[in-house]
Chains A and B, each alone.
Chain A
């Protein structure tokens, strides 16, 4: 069945390419002429393949391919902080204490045989969006699905939500799935702006993880409601990023995160719902992220692991976009477990991530309405304002529940309630200070480069290994440490002094 559909679509594809002359002639159903428009920030330039779900970071880590510390971080961590233990299944002492576990384990209802008749898909789309907002979603969009947006490979992905079941039914062919379920409903919940000011801190973790739990619940509710209306839903099959781009949730920024109209990067993309309900898809957004990211680079200069590129876009999997080095980004987590679980620095520094107020709306709307040629000027002005009022790195002190980011984090081996708690690390140096302390500081975080250098020095081939590695990274353009390599002597000096 699947092969028949493949052939059909392939012939249709060729027929369409004939007059256009855009196709590359191999008759693949997913040729560039058919690729959807994903906004200005992302351009499909070559052949865009489905991503194999088993090559996603969490899946690699589960197989132990990223080393012992990360493997242990994933499976064996138990934070000392009580709230962290209920916020996310992987960091729970008992998974039953997390909401994600309760949502995942809830019995799934069946599709209502009495399907509701749809005469006006536009009204139905409005209704679904209104229902999503009622359930608690902050941004809602509908994407028209392309086969390349669906995960390939034989496994369903671990999307980081802690969901344990791998979708329903056997894994079908992506072309067939896209034909059968042409729309994806993308939702997102925003993180609390005031709490994520404490990036690299447990406070930021909670803003992240609790909204993630909420999003999973909202998705489950919407899926249940769609089944109740008599249509089918499938989850755990779609890559959230391209679907959200197509759904007009936002644009892809330099930090590898989606940047939205109202909330900047401080949103979650969960696991979009594939459905066969007749809906009207949304169009990609243009809020000037493309122009902003060319100039700004705030996330790249403040990233603790230098995982964000200072350079331009690269072509990866046939898609031209900013690509972060996910491996270095991911690796740091195992070493900072006492202090935080998710970093969020690139989100916090992003000029788009601001409270949803009139002046923010004014800035974004004026940038939207500026002609492309004049946008660099507008961006420079906005970035100047951002640097002036919010500083280059936000270091606001946040006090929430029993947490206080004004307490200087000190690494301790054992004991204490959490990385920043009173019992663990004493009191704040100045009770009235407005400065927060976040671990680790930028200068000390060439951790992986230093580790690599030490390892190569220990092997006695330090003089050879360094240059060859850096030249390789520049050539391939996949590992984006090249920006960091340029300034490495200074940083190395700083880090040595720091130690």
Chain B
């Protein structure tokens, strides 16, 4: 405890801590050129071809575990899998062939990307886009369909048991963080084992 506090104090002293005059600029100031924020480009990255050879999934439980492990390894703090319900969908989100499952990731952050408009404040959103990019494309390379953006991520996150919603509509989880950013849900037909929602 003492060591932790000492390290924090030393860190504040070495890096300038809150005395950094540009930090607020970095977190909160809207970019002059919106293209300097890479997040929309990553979120809207085009889908590639689905790999023609389908990998057989013998055990959905193992596959779910793999997807979660991979998601956490590439930067998500929580990864959940939900059985997709019709009320999770955004209007016009469902394609002709329905998706049975949704994978959703949450990223712990000190800043809320909806309020902090600077490049630093948007980082949680970008990390979510990166995790989604990796997971969606991994599923497509396994030979299954996967797409982003068809469902309401918060509803899916609650259904996947990541946490509950507070009265401001934010996700509350067991991870201690001032803000949990929920990335867009990935809809897929990869055979997975859905999680149980928290009571």
Contact = CB atoms under 8 A, between A and B. Distances in A.
Interface of A: 82-83, 85-86, 92-99, 101-103, 105-110, 112-114, 116, 123-124, 126-127, 129-131, 134-135, 192, 210, 214, 217, 220-221, 224-225, 227-229, 400-402, 417
Contact of B130 (A109, A217, A228): A217
Contact of A114 (B23, B32, B35, B62): B32
A30 B134 CA distance: 45
B33 A228 contact: yes
A206 to B, nearest CB: 9
A237 B142 CA distance: 37
Contact of A131 (B26, B42, B46, B48): B26
Contact of A102 (B15, B21, B36, B42): B42
B134 A86 contact: yes
Contact of A217 (B38, B119, B140, B141): B38
Given A82-B55, A110-B33, A112-B33, A228 B119 contact: yes
Interface stretch (B66-74, B77-85, B98-106, B177-185): B66-74
Nearest to A126: B16
Nearest to A124: B22
Contacts of B38: 103, 106, 217, 220-221, 224
B173 interface: no
Contact of A82 (B32, B47, B51): B51
B157 to A, nearest CB: 23
Given A85-B141, A97-B137, A112-B33, A123 B20 contact: yes
A486 to B, nearest CB: 43
Contact of A103 (B31, B42, B123, B138): B42
Contact of A126 (B20, B69, B123, B140): B20
Interface residues of B, number: 43
A308 B74 CA distance: 32
Nearest to A85: B141
B66 to A, nearest CB: 5
B92 interface: no
B140 A97 contact: yes
A224 B37 contact: yes
Given A82-B51, A109-B36, A221-B119, A130 B70 contact: no
B88 interface: no
B69 to A, nearest CB: 6
A224 B42 contact: no
7 contacts: A83-B70, A86-B138, A96-B45, A131-B26, A221-B119, A225-B26, A401-B66
Nearest to A83: B138
Given A97-B140, A109-B31, A134 B120 contact: yes
A124 B20 CA distance: 9
A228 B32 contact: yes
The DSSP consensus for interface residues of chain A is: helix
Given A116-B22, A417-B55, 4 more contacts: A102-B42, A114-B32, A126-B20, A220-B38
A134 B130 CA distance: 16
B49 interface: yes
B34 interface: yes
Contacts of B41: 102, 105-107
A82 B33 contact: no
B20 A106 contact: no
A127 B123 CA distance: 16
A94 B23 CA distance: 39
Interface string B130-156: 100110011011100000000000000
A107 B35 contact: yes
Nearest to B120: A134
- Ranked 4 nearest A-B pairs via Cβ: A109-B36, A94-B48, A106-B41, A96-B48
A401 B142 CA distance: 14
A97 B50 CA distance: 10
Given A99-B130, A224-B119, A225-B26, A210 B74 contact: yes
A134 B23 CA distance: 11
A220 B79 CA distance: 26
B35 A109 contact: yes
A93 B31 CA distance: 35
Contacts of B126: 221
A127 B15 CA distance: 8
Interface string B90-116: 000000000000000000000000000
A85 B51 contact: yes
A102 B123 contact: no
Contact of A130 (B20, B32, B66, B130): B20
Given A86-B141, A93-B141, A417-B55, A131 B120 contact: yes
A101 B130 CA distance: 12
A1 B45 CA distance: 41
A312 to B, nearest CB: 39
B33 to A, nearest CB: 4
Contacts of A227: 33, 36
Contacts of A210: 73-74, 134
A138 B69 CA distance: 22
Contacts of A400: 69
Contact of A401 (B21, B33, B36, B69): B69
Contacts of B15: 126, 129-130
Contacts of A106: 35, 38, 41-42
Interface string B1-32: 00000000000000110001111011000011
A490 B19 CA distance: 64
A108 B35 contact: yes
A224 B141 contact: no
